Amino acid sequence: MININSSFITHHSSLRLLLLAAAVLAIAGCQQPFDHYTCTLQAPVPPGMEPPREIHKVSLPAYVVEPPDMLAVDMLKMVPKPPYRIDVYDVLQIRASFALPDQPINDFYIVEAEGVVNVGPAYGSVRVVGMTLDEATEALKKKLAEVLRQPEVSVQLARTAGTQPVSGQYLVAPDGTINLRTYGTVHVAGKTLVEIKLALQEHLQQFFDSPEVAVDVLGYNSKVYYVITDGAGMGDNVRRLPITGNETVLDAVSSVGGLSQLSSKEVWIARPAPADYGCEQILPVDYVAITRGGSAATNYQVMPGDRVFIADDNVIGFNNVLGKFTAPIERLLGIAGLGSSTVRGYQTMGRGYNQQRQGF
């Protein structure tokens, strides 16, 4: 038979009261584990080192493209590299002087499937497919001379049918390149928009005559900041948010729905520093002054890569940590108490059963 010390079970409630009293004393006497974060900025700070704030914001430097940004590329000038051979369904702009008054020649003409261009019923068709622009000009001039006297002809390429378009939306791949399909790939990571424009134009010179492109960022996906909410000993909550260049600490807190029930009003910005910097870059935030007093002194502008950290409530944090240690003890005490009650029940039931039998 299992013999369980009932006095140990009896003092279960007393032990819980002692643990609670120890917790209260520990909270009253303990110090915050992150004292180095509560330091304030030294005053006065050199103007060049003043962090931007709500009222005195700064413009972010030229945007540097990185994966997985989305770029929009527009081809402004798309003239194939000479000598270009006219192909079927190309569009030619043809002008001719001294044309018939009722059938002027100053329009756009498509090269038909047979490889000819029809300039009008009075002039007929001329075969131009496979010719250069100069050769097509001479062929048209010779054809029009059959009807007109000393015509002057000008032929320009308005649109090509066989040339693949360049304009479109391009995702920056993990290797830092964009795929222009037929025209190959161009490395754009680590470059500004101006540098990307020059790189694209230089690359497309293999296929076009003096190409001109316009580049813009369609999706700002690579520049972010983080809002980290301390979970009071139960794990941190990390939110990754895109940055627009105008966010402040208050914007960051509002983006996660404000302070949770586990959070304190201790907030700071941890700004990334080089690996050999030797110290942390911490910007303490006076949350009460920002929200209740409308002060902009510590409502700092958030920069790419910043970590906005929201500390937990010390009392709730200590309670959760204490609960991790006391929960196994309480479970063991509960199991022991259940075993003791079961044993006493069996003993009582046996005595009652024997008494009933003796009474009969």
CATH assignment of the domain containing 45 = 3.10.560
Residue 227 falls inside a structural domain = yes
Residue 263 falls inside a structural domain = yes
The residue among 219, 241, 267 that closes a domain is 219
Residue 13 falls inside a structural domain = no
For residue 70, what pLDDT is reported?
96
- What CA–CA distance (Å, rounded) separates 260 from 256? 9
The residue among 197, 219, 241 that closes a domain is 219
**For the chain, how many structural domains are there in total?**
3
Same domain? For 194 and 112 the reply is no
**Which residue has tokens 């059963």?**
353
Task: Give 321-338 pLDDT, tens digit per residue.
Answer: 777 777 777 777 777 777
Same domain? For 208 and 194 the reply is yes
* CA-wise closest residue to 125 among 133, 95, 136: 136
The listed range with the strongest mean pLDDT (79-88, 246-255, 271-280) is 246-255
For residue 333, what pLDDT is reported?
73
What are 241-246's contacts with CB under 8 Å, separation 24+? Answer: 243/302, 243/303, 243/304, 244/220, 245/59, 245/60, 246/57, 246/301
Residue 358: band (very low, low, confident or very high) from pLDDT cuts 50, 70, 90: low
Residue 340 falls inside a structural domain = no
For residue 23, what pLDDT is reported?
54
Please state whether the predicted TM-score (pTM) of the whole model is above 0.85. Answer: no
- What CA–CA distance (Å, rounded) separates 72 from 196? 11
Comparing 66 with 163, the larger pLDDT belongs to 66
Comparing 180 with 353, the larger pLDDT belongs to 180
Instruction: Please give the structure tokens belonging to residue 44.
Output: 């006065």
Q: Does pLDDT of 15 surpass 80?
A: no
Report the share of the chain in percent with pLDDT over 90: 44
Residue 21 falls inside a structural domain = no
Same domain? For 258 and 274 the reply is yes
Task: Give 144-183 pLDDT, tens digit per residue.
Answer: 999 888 889 999 888 888 778 899 999 999 999 999 988 9
Range of the domain at 104: 91-159
Please state the rounded mean pLDDT for residues 17-25.
54
Same domain? For 236 and 310 the reply is yes
What is the domain-level CATH number for residue 200? 3.30.1950.10
Same domain? For 231 and 305 the reply is yes
For residue 339, what pLDDT is reported?
74
* CA-wise closest residue to 294 among 53, 44, 59: 53
